[in-house]
Amino acid sequence: MLVYIKENYEEMSKEAARIVAELVRSKPSGVLGFATGGTPLELYKELIRMHQHEGLDFSNITTFNLDEYVGLPPEHPQSYHYFMWENLFKHINVDRRFVHFPKGMAQDIEAHCEWYEKQIEKAGGIDLQILGIGANGHIAFNEPGSSLGSRTRIKTLTGTTREANARFFDDPSQVPKYAITMGVGTIMDAKKLLLLASGESKAEAIAATCEGPITAKCPATIVQMHRHATVIVDQAAAAKLTMKY
Ligand code: F6R
């Protein structure tokens, strides 16, 4: 596991963008896994800049998002589908046909989750998966206690995650209770992982992820077992690390 400690959020995001751009340039028909939330926003701005000013070409890139709220249609402003189009996809030249999300409105969720897994497989697997981390150590919506071998499925969001995500909704009661999420096992199948964290609220989860024992109580700790995992954090998120990196 490679751990990079950057001075601040901007430097963290630039380093992450360099890694994503390297993948896109070396494998123009590669498969990228995307995350939503506050953490990757500056990374996405930097990718947009690279597309607009350096010709970074996404036209043959296939994408898979980690998760989606159950019950929100794609056009809902708080859906992850909407988030990705607003914050990245509509500003770069991704081909709509190659963009994948779990469907929050799927009728048969179980069948849909199986379909999603198959699509990832058919695309040849995810080359580089971008990840954020919850203060409680979740990755995607794999909350503490999730099976470390889990695949794409429906999960109940914990109270702390619903509270953390309430900032994006007008009223906290509107935060959905369920999400469809790639499983921990699905994420671990990606060829490379890029986990980002910024701010002191993530310091404990980052210390556990990089230095703690592997445990389902903090699903992100499984990243230690990945062969090509890179963790990029800012100084605040690195505050509780005790080893030298
Ligand atoms: C989002 C996702 C979540 C977030 C995590 C951190 O697709 O999978 O695991 O990465 O909740 O969210 P932020 O970045 O908002 O702190």
Closest-lying ligand 1 atom to the alpha carbon of residue 80 = 7
Active site residue 143: yes
Write out the two tokens for 178. 């369920």
Q: For the segment 103-114, what is each residue's pLDDT rounded down to a tens digit?
A: 999 999 999 999
Closest-lying ligand 1 atom to the alpha carbon of residue 199 = 16
Question: Residue 235's pLDDT is what?
Answer: 98
Question: Residue 245's pLDDT is what?
Answer: 85
Question: Residue 144's pLDDT is what?
Answer: 96
Question: Residue 22's pLDDT is what?
Answer: 98
Question: Residue 153's pLDDT is what?
Answer: 98
Average pLDDT for 172-200: 97
Protein residue with its CA nearest to atom 9 in ligand 1: 140
Residue 239: inside a domain, yes or no? no
The alpha carbon torsion through 105, 109, 113, 114 (nearest 10 deg) reads -130
Task: Give me the number of domains the chain comprises.
Answer: 1
Residue 145: inside a domain, yes or no? yes
Residue 10: inside a domain, yes or no? no
Percent of the chain surpassing pLDDT 90:
97
Q: How many Å lie between the centroid of ligand 1 and the Cα of residue 161? A: 9
Catalytic residue among 42, 46, 67, 127: 67
Residue 100: inside a domain, yes or no? yes
Q: How many Å lie between the centroid of ligand 1 and the Cα of residue 129? A: 13
Q: What is the CATH number of the domain that holds 158?
A: 3.40.50.1360
Select from 39, 41, 195 the residue to mutate for testing ligand 1; criterion: most ligand atoms less than 8 Å from CB: 39
Q: For the segment 46-84, what is each residue's pLDDT rounded down to a tens digit?
A: 999 999 999 999 999 999 999 999 999 999 999 999 999
3-state secondary structure of 153: strand
Residue 218: inside a domain, yes or no? no
Q: How many Å lie between the centroid of ligand 1 and the Cα of residue 30? A: 23
Locate all alpha helices (DSSP H) within 65-108, ordered by sequence: 80-87
Question: Residue 186's pLDDT is what?
Answer: 98
The answer to whether the CB of 163 falls within 8 A of the CB of 174 is no
Residue 149: inside a domain, yes or no? yes
Residue 155: inside a domain, yes or no? yes
Q: Can you say whether the dihedral through the CA atoms of 177, 44, 9, 77 is positive or negative?
A: negative
| pLDDT band, very low/low/confident/very high, at 244 (cuts 50, 70, 90) | confident
Active site residue 189: no
Write out the two tokens for 217. 């109580």
Question: Residue 2's pLDDT is what?
Answer: 97
Active site residue 234: no
pTM equals 0.97
Q: How many Å lie between the centroid of ligand 1 and the Cα of residue 141? A: 8
Residue 173: inside a domain, yes or no? yes
The region, left, alpha or beta by phi > 0 then psi within -120 to 50, assigned to residue 199 is left
Where in the sequence is the domain holding 168, given as residue range(s)?
Answer: 15-126+141-192+223-231
Average pLDDT for 224-236: 98
Q: For the segment 8-46, what is each residue's pLDDT rounded down to a tens digit?
A: 999 999 999 999 999 999 999 999 999 999 999 999 999
Q: What average pLDDT does the structure give for the chain?
A: 97
